[in-house]
Chains A and B, each alone.
Chain A
Amino acid sequence: MTILETTSPLSDRRASARQIWLLTVLFGLVLLSALSLRFGLRPISWYSIWESFVAYDATNADHLVIQGMRLPRLMAAWLAGGALAGSGALIQSLTRNPLADPGLLGINGGASLGVILCIFLLGISDPASFVWVAMGGGLVSTVLVFFLGGAGRGTPLRLILAGAALSALFLALGRSLLLISQRSLDVYRFWVLGGLDGIEMPTLAALLPFFALGAALAAVSSFNLNAMMLGEDTARSLGLRVGLARGLAVCAIVCLCGATVSMAGPIAFVGLIVPHMARRFSGADMRWGLLFSTLLGAGLMILADLVGRLPVFGGNMQAGVMAALIGGPALVWLIRRNGGAAL
């Protein structure tokens, strides 16, 4: 039987195309990262960038800008874009709903309410201390959504409805607090539009364990979701513990999005559209879907941040907004080119 020569399921033409796309995307990411270090308000030469890595000099202003501002910013873009798009891929597959967004689990709503409560009740106005409040708020609301949605036993639809209801409730609560307190609004505005400005290494380092844990859980979940996408019965008969698998995927999303929202505020859209772009390259295999989503999400965020820094946009356009401005038309182009097959 010639068929036995097959050594892996990837040995078809589509699979080698996938590998070529992977290399292309990786190359693009490296290029974008380099450009993102190079360009900004202050022109810095390639040589200085190189030097700041191999022979850092704390008295050199160029080195300070690169290592103290642009590098953390670049890393934040990587993490935020990758985390949002990766968890978008997970939630779309988990709920079998192509319009699901990771914010649907109530993470953004919970995080926002947490931050508002913290400003309103405790009078805190230092953005750095919002990190843990936002994380906590997101966590609490996701746990609520997960259990209201029937925990491991609920249907995807129930999970989505629970998430939509709680998100709306939390946002409304937050807004009514903002309406009665001008002072809170002034502080909150900074957080909610925060984007990637002013993120520093210590914040990144503190959040890194969450991103790492989230990435590991996401990798395991992508394997589980490959079976889950065939429906609950089939997944169970393939030996999956469906409730546990669902719980793991939700944990992955909470870690990734909780860390992102606490670092960069709520960023919409990336988690919704990037997985659709990724599907063009990955096919129906979630492991590849997750990988491509993560890489493309990171790429989109870096690009958005870079473009947002151009003088045309006043030199400071929020990366999340820019990502939607770039990503929207890109998705439309993809859909049109494929006659709608992408969705």
Chain B
Amino acid sequence: MNAPARLHAKALSVAFAKTPILKDLSADIPDGKITVIVGPNACGKSTFLRSLARLQKPDSGEVLLDGKSIHKQANRSVAQRLAILPQSPSAPEGLTVRDLVTRGRTPHQSALRQWSHQDAEAVGRALELTGMAPNANRPLEALSGGQRQRAWIAMALAQDTKILLLDEPTTYLDLPHQIELLSLIQSLNQQNNQTVAMVLHDINLAARFADHIIALRAGAIFTTGSPTEVVTRNNMEQVFELRCQIISDPVHGTPHVIPE
């Protein structure tokens, strides 16, 4: 590997109530690529992503952002470079979509300097990209699960960071909207050279949209690499205990899992 990635996990260990959840986990999140983290339920994907975003303090090891420990950097400055959408965020009643997306600008504002033209632009762009502009003035509780999910993603987009972490961004979305959202993330990645790391449950979508896959099993890295390297019959059986056939997706040429 050449220049070190901007975001890097170094020998992370996390335990909850003495139960180890992440065990000595080291990984790069390659710059300008889409990384997808896969693994069975409760294997530690969210914990890993939260650690990368400094929301979870590791018991040992550290996360390096731009070469420095993320926990030792000013929180605001981290928030200008890295955004995360947690797995199940909650909002108070009465909050409109625009209110929520506007909150994404917080790291670029302060109590004294509150609203600028860039803020307006970023909020408008995020609403437009996620297709939430027509719903901008509706309160979140009046939206469907999928619309709400897109509103939260719009908030993370408004934060306008080079690195974007998403925990299961496609939950609640129907298949067309899943594809639409992942295509949006792909175009952000390609046009703005944004680094994306996300947890996805659908291994076929992961194979189609990822440049790089990290497969976790029981809190440790099982394997990493390109979709063709990771999505193999042998790996699927060991990571997910899933017996399957792998075919080549006739449209995209990526590996496609057919469970037996």
**Are A and B physically bound partners?**
yes
Q: How many residues of B contact A (CB 8 A)?
A: 47
Contact of B83 with A by CB under 8 A = yes
Contact of B111 among A6, A219, A234, A284 (CB under 8 A): A219
Contact of B55 among A223, A226, A237 (CB under 8 A): A237
Task: Evaluate contact between A226 and B103: CB separation under 8 angstroms.
Answer: yes
- CB within 8 Å of A: which of B139-157? none
Contact of B193 with A by CB under 8 A = no
Quote the shortest CB–CB distance from B72 to chain A (angstroms): 14
Contact indicator per residue, chain A 1-40, by CB within 8 Å of chain B (1) or not (0): 1011011110011100000000000000000000000000
Task: Evaluate contact between A12 and B128: CB separation under 8 angstroms.
Answer: no
Task: Evaluate contact between B54 and A284: CB separation under 8 angstroms.
Answer: no
Contact of B92 among A9, A238, A284 (CB under 8 A): A284
Contact of B96 among A1, A3, A7, A283 (CB under 8 A): A283
Task: Evaluate contact between A236 and B117: CB separation under 8 angstroms.
Answer: no
Contact of A237 among B86, B92, B133 (CB under 8 A): B86
Contact indicator per residue, chain A 198-231, by CB within 8 Å of chain B (1) or not (0): 0000000000000000000001100110110111
| Bound Cα distance A106, B12 (Å) | 41
Task: Evaluate contact between A239 and B80: CB separation under 8 angstroms.
Answer: yes
Task: Evaluate contact between B76 and A223: CB separation under 8 angstroms.
Answer: no
**Neighbouring A residues of B111 by C-beta, 8 Å:** 219-220, 223-224
Quote the shortest CB–CB distance from A230 to chain B (angstroms): 6
**Neighbouring B residues of A226 by C-beta, 8 Å:** 103, 106
| Bound Cα distance A239, B107 (Å) | 5
Q: Chain A: interface residue count, which band?
A: 20 to 34
**Neighbouring A residues of B75 by C-beta, 8 Å:** 236, 239-241
Contact of B28 with A by CB under 8 A = no
Contact of B98 with A by CB under 8 A = yes
**Neighbouring B residues of A284 by C-beta, 8 Å:** 92-96, 99
| Bound Cα distance A230, B92 (Å) | 7
| Bound Cα distance A123, B91 (Å) | 52
- CB within 8 Å of B: which of A257-296? 279, 283-285
Q: Using a Cβ cutoff of 8 Å, how many contacts connect chains A and B?
A: 101
| Bound Cα distance A4, B50 (Å) | 33
Contact of A186 with B by CB under 8 A = no
| Bound Cα distance A86, B188 (Å) | 42
- CB within 8 Å of A: which of B74-102? 75-80, 82-84, 86, 89-96, 98-100, 102
**Neighbouring B residues of A238 by C-beta, 8 Å:** 79, 103-104, 106-107, 159
Contact of A175 with B by CB under 8 A = no
Task: Evaluate contact between B128 and A239: CB separation under 8 angstroms.
Answer: no
A239 with B106, Cβ < 8 A, contacts A6-B120, A9-B123, A234-B89 known = yes
Please, could you name 21 A-B residue pairs with CB atoms under 8 Å apart, sorted by A?
A: A1-B128, A3-B127, A4-B125, A6-B120, A7-B117, A9-B99, A12-B136, A223-B110, A226-B103, A230-B103, A233-B50, A234-B86, A237-B53, A237-B86, A238-B79, A238-B103, A241-B75, A283-B96, A284-B92, A284-B95, A284-B96
Using a CB–CB cutoff of 8 Å, the interface residues on chain B facing chain A are 50, 53-55, 75-80, 82-84, 86, 89-96, 98-100, 102-104, 106-107, 109-111, 114-115, 117, 120-121, 123-125, 127-128, 133, 136-137, 159
A229-B91, A236-B55, A239-B77 given. 17 additional CB < 8 A pairs? Answer: A1-B128, A3-B128, A4-B121, A6-B120, A8-B120, A9-B102, A9-B120, A13-B137, A219-B111, A226-B103, A227-B103, A227-B106, A230-B90, A237-B55, A237-B84, A240-B75, A284-B99
